[in-house]
Each structure stands twice: as structure tokens, then as C-alpha cells.
A and B are shown apart, each in its own frame.
Chain A
Amino acid sequence: MSEAIQKNKKEKKYKFFDYTLLFIIIFLVGFGLVMLYSTSSYTAAIKYGNSAYFLRKQMKAAMLGFSAMLFFSFVDYHFWMKLSFVAYVVSFALCLYVLIGGKAYNGSTRWIYIGGMSVQPSEIAKIAIIIFLAAVINKIPKKMDDWRTIVKLFAFVIPITGVIALNNLSTAIIILGITFVIIFVSSPKYLPFVMVIAIGVALSGGFLLTAGYRLERIKIWLHPEDYSKGYQILQGLYAIGSGGLFGKGLGESMQKLGYLPEAQNDMIFSIICEELGLFGAICVILLYLLLLWRFMVIATNANDLYGALIVSGILAHIAIQVILNIAVVTNTIPNTGITLPFISYGGTSVSILLAEMGLALNVAKQIKLTTSE
């Protein structure tokens, strides 16, 4: 009896909640909704006769995402360890299914219907891979200095990325990136990873230079003004350039008025630049940096390896998407469809991201605070 009381007291002492992280998340989602409305209202009014068409859908997804976040922040993350393999298999199956029975939009088949909602299985695959890899590595931490283990782990991920790559190359790249970061963090070695990067760059460079379709992409990248397919990227650049230091003011973008197609998706950052200027854009980037810094703090202080790896995976997920998205928008790398986390339009993406935030919050909650008394 007395033991139980003591235990209770001990648990109370451990209570920690990362309010900073929670605040950043809520701010980002709120800011995202404002920018999404500003960006999409004009096209939404023209196409659907309702200026809040995209906003309403995104708000629904955000609500769902917040409940998911709440749920994940309360459920002990070790619970998912047992389900990690199941999650991997199910998401793999869903990704296969989408190839056969998916719904096409913009020329790619990426959606399936679950309970009346359209869902993008590749988004689910991201969180599944993070949990799966963290669980597997947690079982074999000692073997991580062996390059064969590293190869084996990559081999696990290759099938699902392959399936996703068939119709959504960018998500496949993100999943590979997440995998790379998780393995990099858990292995004591540096050299193999540097080599992987070197080989990857060499291979993809060679690939891009030889394959015709990819070659065109490179040409568009170098001279967007000469190709009709460079229209979107060029209009995005016009938007960024015309924003100036402090932008044209919220809601004052010209480019969103039909010039920049699908502005609310991948190109939303260029509208942020146009309306809020360089100043606003840098603030947004710094906000992401703050978020990633919280993840690093949580990961390095996590209670155990499993939690640390999950948060590293989440860090990788968000960092890769932010970097690639802004790199595409600024035409730093060739165009590939990657959304800006929390801000771009995309229901599944927001819901899954918020669920991931719930996971991170739960890992943070279990950090043992030791006082130096």
C-alpha cells in the first residue's frame, strides 16, 4: 500500500508537457489556415462558387488532426511498438490498393476512399515507416555499427517506396530521406552514410542526364521561361520577386488571381512571399526552425531509444518537406510536388502531421526530469 502511494508520487514528479511545442503547432496550423484562405478564396469562388471551399475542407482535416494529436499524446508511444509491423503491412497494402482502385486527380492516382473521406495512403506510409523503423532498431541497437544491418534495414523500406514511387515520386523520396535519417542517427558510423550520399548524387545525376523525361525537367529547371511546363514555377518566382521586403499585404497577392495555378498546394510559400514579403517568409522559416529545434531537444532527452528515434523520424519528415518545398518554389532544385507542412492544402497530410505531433508530445511527456537537489 505504502509502495503504491510512493509510486504515485514518483509519477507525478515526472509530469512534463511541452507547451512550447504545442503552441508552435497551433500557431502554424492557424497561420496555415489564414494563408490557405487568402490564397485559395479567389479560385474557390470561381470554380466552386464558394470562397471558403478549400478552407472548410482543410479545417475539417485540421479538426480531425487535432483529435488525433490529442489521442496520440495520451497513448503511451510504446503501445505502437507492438503494432509497428502490422502498421507497416497495412500501409503497404493500402499503397498497393491505390494503384488498382485509386481515384485520379491531376493525372496521378493517389487517393482512396475510406468512410466517405478521400485519403492518401502514401501519407499514412510515412508515419508507419517511422514507427516501424524505430521499433526494429530498438531491438538491435548493438548491430547498428555493422553496414550489413544498415543495408538490411534499407531493404525493408525499398518495396513500399518502390510501390509509392510508381505514381508519387516525391513521397517516395521523402520516405527514403526519413529512413536515411533514422538509420544515420542510430548508427555510430559516418563513412557509409557519406558514401551513400555520394553514390546517390552520382546515380541520380547520371539518371537525370540520360533519361529523356527527367532531362526535360532539368531543362525546365535551368530555363523555366522557355518551356510551357515551366509556367507554374516561373509564376511562383514572379510572386516571390514581386513581394519585396514587406510584401503587398495579406490578401493582396496578384499571382493567386488565376496566374499561379494550384497556388494553394505546393506553391503556397510563393504567395506567402508575395503577400508578407521577405520578412514574412523568413519568419515562417524561423518558425519551422523553432519547431525542429523542439524535436531535437525532445529526441536528445527522450526516455529511451525508441522514443528518440520516433522523434528523429518526425524531425526528418518535417525538415525534408520544408527544405524541398522551399527549394522547389525558389527553383533551387527541379520541380517535384512536395507540400509545405501544416500550410499547404491537403487533408491527409495535415491530419497525419498532427498525429505525428501527438506522438512527439507523448515522447516529451515521458522525459524524466531529474532535479539536481
Chain B
Amino acid sequence: MFNVKLKRNEKRKLTRSMRKKMIVTFVIVVFALFGLIFRLMYIEYTSGEKYEKKVLSQLGYDSKTIAYQRGSIIDTKGSILATSVDVYNVILDCKVLSQETEKVEPTLQALATAFDDLSYDELYAKYQANITSQYQVLLKKQSYDSVQKFIAMQDDSENYPNISTSGVWMEKEYERQYPYNSLASSIIGFVSSGNVGTTGLENYYNSTLNGINGREYGYLNSDSNFEKTIKEAEDGETLVTTIDINIQTIVENKINEFMQNYANNYIEGDGAKNISVVVMNPNTGEILALADDKEYDLNNPRDLSSYYSEEELAALSDEEKYEKLNEIWQSYAISSTYEPGSTAKPFTVACGLETGALSGNEVYYCQGYETVNGQKISCVSIYGHGSETIEEALMDSCNASLMQMAETIGVANFTKYQNVFGFGLKTNIDLPGEARTDSLIYTADSMSAVDLATNAFGQNFNTTMIQLSSAFCSLINGGNYYQPHVVRKILDSEGNTISTIEPTLLKQTISEETSDILRQYLVSVVSDGTGKTAKVNGYSMGGKTGTAEKIPRDKTNYLVSFIGFAPAENPEVVIYAVVDQPNVEEQSHSTYAQQLVKDILSEVLPYMNIYMDEELVPEDSETAETAVAEEQPAESTPEDTPEASAEESAEESPAVNE
């Protein structure tokens, strides 16, 4: 296209010298560009850090960050558990002040009058030393009221005509406050450096709670004039939790009472190694209360003075301190794993009934032990329980019957149902630090006959409290496994609902029929079985005890527990209490956990407006019987010689039957 015909003399060739000159030109350009690359490197090398700091420091005055307000955390009834309160930093702009010489003295005098912590001489020295600075922090985190005096003086141009209005200004910040101090500390968690959620809900919902900083900034417009624009901050969102502070308070008080009552009881030390309680609504998966004995002041999360004396603190290394802090910061119910013991028995029974391996009409015979693969594994009663129906096996917490059931169920179905109930899986509750238990349970391939037998009564595999209580809810509510959760609603900064977290039905673990049978069995456990101590007078209840032998299996250390529900027919509340190594001579009695549950429920049930549905029984008549049916710990150590375990059981049984 457009081919142009040229006259012969218009078409000239390039000469060799021209080509040479083009290359010369290019080489010069290359040198120039490489020179500039070196110039860039030079700037970076000599001034990079300095300029980086300049850029950051410019943010301080040319433009101000307008802090957002982090969202609050409130309980289910609206009480504030965590909130951000505005505080003010007093900033002196020496450079601006120095341009109004006549105002320097009156302004600094006014500051000294308005704030007790400031003196004129110190202020003047600071001003002189930093005369070019635009950002000198005089005071930090003053309350709204305490800065009002100075602001009033600044505004009062009649009485104080010479106070600079632009030389001193208040920088607004927010400080996190927890009105209930240590209440529900393991759930709420705390923040570091203002807005970084470190533990608990503060951590899990950090980005929801945080907003977006606004900015007031200046820029040069096209006429090189300085203009200011404001971009408002967006405040964070508020969490409405499922926690009820009244229930939480009752739970924490009862735990503390226990810890005090048993402190220095048998050996010198705490009332128990760990105590933790979970209270749930079985029909929604909502956590109503969750507490352990290691609650801490959220307003002062790094304070260890309640655990150590001053001398002890001074002797601790930073690492040891940090370890202890982590221990008190984390929630036992979420982050710790343990062998559950007999509270796992209802799951074994449910598995048997649901798979059809058990018909419900079986009768087992307990001779005091069971021999599996040549290993003698003993029951709680060395004399044997005799013949036991399934219901009686649960009521007596008979290990031998459960082992026989497990044998019928078989490894495949047993492991399948462990998975159905969520053992070995995370519940994905909306709290950080949930423990992984996938490597702490057996698979169909790795489970031996002995493992199956011991797993049947809750030894030899690990769970977390939240795992077991969520699964337990499904056992008694008709088989519905709800996602356990702590937050039920998210509000915007104006209080409008942004999202509601409805109960999430994750799966059907067992049929409604199986659930009905289980509930009936568990009610018998409390009314006539090992769980009598937990019974709150006047209320129908169900539940299961647990006494797990801890490693090493030397029959000294036990983790005792009780999981229960009320009322019997339509359960409205599930409670699970774990007492790890109570400070007593004989740890192997689930009564310690049962008593705790009873104490809590006798206050929580009336508070929840759950009506008494049974006749009140006169108190004294039952106390004598209580301990009689008390279970003995599971004997699960394959290493133990049969003789040894028989001997030990023989020694202990009288104590049990006291």
C-alpha cells in the first residue's frame, strides 16, 4: 500500500561511517542509562533507610490517621464483654508553635495548668530541644474528661487569647477495655497493641472486629496550595456471642470454689491440675458458658502475680513466663486433649444399636475382667457385675460388658462411628487453637483387638472437651449434630444486624429411635446408677460419669468427668465438667466432677427458667447411697500383668465401696 516511487537521486544509501556513528550514539546512550542505574543504587545505598523513615514520619503530621473504633464483643443478653474506649494523646507541634512567638509561653503555661503530669520547665525544655519537630507526644492515653480542661482553655479566646490552637492538638486513639476483667477470658481473648487480637474471639474474629482507618491528609493542588481532605474511618463490627454472663459467672464461681476447697488438700498445691466446664444448648450447638480454672484479667493479660510471688517471678526466665502465659491464655476445653474414660461408653452403645450389631435385648455376663488376645483387662468391680443388660452396663459403667459389645460391633463399624461422632476431627468451633486429634485415635487399619476393647470404654484415644460435648448433644437431641459456635450475630457499628449465624446442622449421627433409647439409658445412670451425685433435686436429668486413668498407668493420677443434660425429656442444656487430677488421696472418683456439675446446675437450671419436673426428695436419704454405685477406673494397660492388676483392684475396691 502507498508504495511511493522515488527519483533515482532521492534514494540514498547509508555509508559505513553513518552506521558507525549510530552505534556510537547507542553506546553513549547505554553508558548514560547504566550511569543512572548506578545513581539509583547510590541513592538506595546511602539514603534508603533515611528516606524510608522520612516517609513514615511524614504520615505523622502532614496527614493524620483517624483511628477506627474496634467493634465490641457482647454476651447473648447484650452485656458488654469487650469494648474500645476513646483516649487522647496530647501532641505538641513545636514548629507551628515557634511561628507564633508570643503564644509559646502562655500555651505551655496552660498545658502545665491543665495537666497535673506536666510542668512548665520540662515543657519548655522539650520545646526548645525539638523546635523543628511537628510531633511531640506530651501525654498518652488521657481520658476524654481529662483533656477537656485544656480544650476549654484553647477555645476560650477571651480569657486566654494567647493559647495556640494549632500548636497543640489531641490525637484520638482507642483503648481496649474488658469491663468484667477475667470473666470468660479464655473465650473473649485480648488484643495486643490496640487492634491485634491475640487469643480467643478477639483473635478469631480479628478482621471482623477491626475497621478501616480514615485519614486526614494534605496535598498540593495544581496551584501549589496546601489542601486538606478528610476520609472518615470505618468502625469495626460487633460480635454478639452465645455466652450468657450469668451462666458463665456461676460456672466460674463454682470452679473457683472447688479449687479453693481442695487447695493443699492432699498435697501442697492447687485444688486440681485442671478443671474445665462447657455448657451448651444441645438444640443449637450454642456455647452458653465455657470456663476453666485458669482465667486471667483481660485488662492485664501478662500479669502472672496471681500465680507466682514476686521472688518466683523474678527468678523465671522469659521463656518460662511465656510458657505459663500461653497455658493460662489458652482454653482447656478447646486446646487440650485427654483420654475421656467412661463418658465415651454411650457412643459405643449408640454405635452398636445404630449399626444393628446390638438389638438392645442382650444380656452380658461380667466376671470382673475380660481376656482379649491373651490380655486380661479388668472391670471396675473385681468381683464382677454378674449379668448385665445394656442399660445396666451403662448404669454400672461396666467395662467387661462394653468390651463384649465392641467385639460384636467390630473394628470397621467402631472406627466408622468414631468418625461420625467427630472424634479425630476438628469441630471448627469459632475459637482459635483447637487441638488436632486425628493422630490420637486409631484407624480401621491400625486398631488391634485390644485397642478396640479399651476404646470401647474411653481409654487409649484422645478427645477434646468441645468434641465430646458436641457429639454428646447429638446423642440426646434426636441425632442432630450441630456445629458448636460462640458467635450468633454480627452487628455493624450502628447496631444493625449484618449477619445472623443460624444453628448449622452438620449431620445426622444416629436415628431418633436410637437417641430416644440412649436418653432413657442415661437418665437411669443418674437416677439409679453411678451418676447419682450429679442429680439436682427436683429436676429430671441424664448423664454419664467418666474416670480415666492417666499415663503412666500406675493408678495414681486420674481425670474424672461428668457429662449430663436436663430436663430428661426435652434437654435444654448439656453440661460437661472435667476435673483433671483433683488434689485428693483417691483421685479415682467421678463424684468430684459430679458434685461440681450439681452445684452449677442447681443455680443454672432455675436461672434458665427450666421448671422442676420431679418430686423433691428429702436430702439426707440419698447421701449414704451415693458412693456405693461409684465406678472404678478403667483398667486399660495391656502392659500390666494380670496378677498385678488383680491385686491392685483388690486393694482399692474397699475404698470405693465405703
Contact = CB atoms under 8 A, between A and B. Distances in A.
Given A305-B13, A326-B36, A296 B22 contact: yes
Interface in B544-601: none
B12 A305 contact: yes
Determine the main DSSP class of B at the interface with A: helix
Given A79-B2, A106-B222, A316 B36 contact: no
B40 A330 contact: yes
Interface stretch (B48-56, B248-256, B327-335, B511-519): B48-56
A241 to B, nearest CB: 3
A259 B229 CA distance: 13
B36 A285 contact: yes
Interface string B211-241: 0000101111010100001000000000000
B137 interface: no
Contacts of A326: 33, 36, 40
Contacts of B63: 257-258
Nearest to A282: B37
Interface stretch (B24-32, B303-311, B413-421, B604-612): B24-32
Residue of A185, A187, A312, A323 ringed by the most chain B CB atoms within 10 A: A185
A143 to B, nearest CB: 12
B25 A184 contact: yes
A241 B36 contact: no
B12 A278 contact: no
Contact of B44 (A257, A259, A278): A278
B129 interface: no
A200 to B, nearest CB: 15
B10 A81 contact: yes
A240 B30 contact: no
Interface in B47-86: 47-52, 54-56, 58-59, 62-63
B224 to A, nearest CB: 8
Interface stretch (A112-120, A162-170, A231-239): A231-239
B6 interface: yes
Contacts of A293: 26
A238 to B, nearest CB: 4
A186 B49 CA distance: 48
Interface string A255-281: 101110100000000000100001001
A304 B219 contact: no
A300 interface: yes
Contacts of A139: 10
A360 interface: no
Contacts of B219: 43, 46, 258-259, 261
Q: Determine which residue in B3, B29, B222 has the highest number of CB atoms from chain A within 10 A of its CB, and name it.
A: B29
Given A239-B55, A241-B47, A308-B18, A330 B62 contact: no
B277 to A, nearest CB: 47
Nearest to B17: A188
B48 A138 contact: no
Contacts of B17: 188
Given A46-B229, A186-B18, A188-B17, A296 B23 contact: yes
Interface in A287-312: 288-289, 292-293, 296, 299-300, 302, 304-306, 308, 312
A88 to B, nearest CB: 18
A244 B40 contact: no
Nearest to B59: A254
A146 interface: no
A160 interface: no
A240 B50 CA distance: 11
Given A75-B1, A278-B41, A281-B40, A292 B23 contact: no
A79 B58 CA distance: 56
Contacts of A106: 222
The range of chain A's interface size is: 35 or more
Nearest to B11: A304
A225 to B, nearest CB: 10
B602 to A, nearest CB: 59
Contacts of B58: 238, 254, 259
A326 B43 CA distance: 13
Contacts of B33: 285, 288-289, 322-323, 326
B48 A242 contact: yes
Contacts of A43: 219
B15 interface: yes
B314 interface: no
B4 interface: yes
B65 to A, nearest CB: 11
Contacts of B218: 258
A312 B2 contact: no
B11 A244 contact: no
Interface in B197-220: 215, 217-220
B4 A79 contact: yes
Contacts of A292: 26, 29
Given A259-B62, A292-B29, A240 B22 contact: no
A101 interface: no
Contacts of B217: 257-258
Nearest to B228: A258
Contacts of A187: 21
A308 B47 contact: no
Interface in A157-188: 181, 184-188
B126 interface: no
A306 B6 CA distance: 12
B324 interface: no
A242 B4 contact: no
B22 A312 contact: yes
A249 interface: no
Nearest to A78: B4
11 contacts: A74-B1, A75-B1, A75-B2, A105-B222, A242-B48, A254-B56, A258-B63, A281-B37, A289-B29, A315-B25, A332-B39
Given A138-B10, A241-B47, A241-B49, 8 more contacts: A138-B12, A237-B51, A240-B44, A241-B44, A259-B58, A322-B33, A323-B29, A326-B36
Interface of B: 1-4, 6, 10-15, 17-19, 21-23, 25-26, 29-30, 32-33, 36-37, 39-41, 43-44, 47-52, 54-56, 58-59, 62-63, 215, 217-220, 222, 224, 229
The 4 closest A-B pairs by CB, nearest first: A241-B51, A258-B219, A305-B12, A242-B52
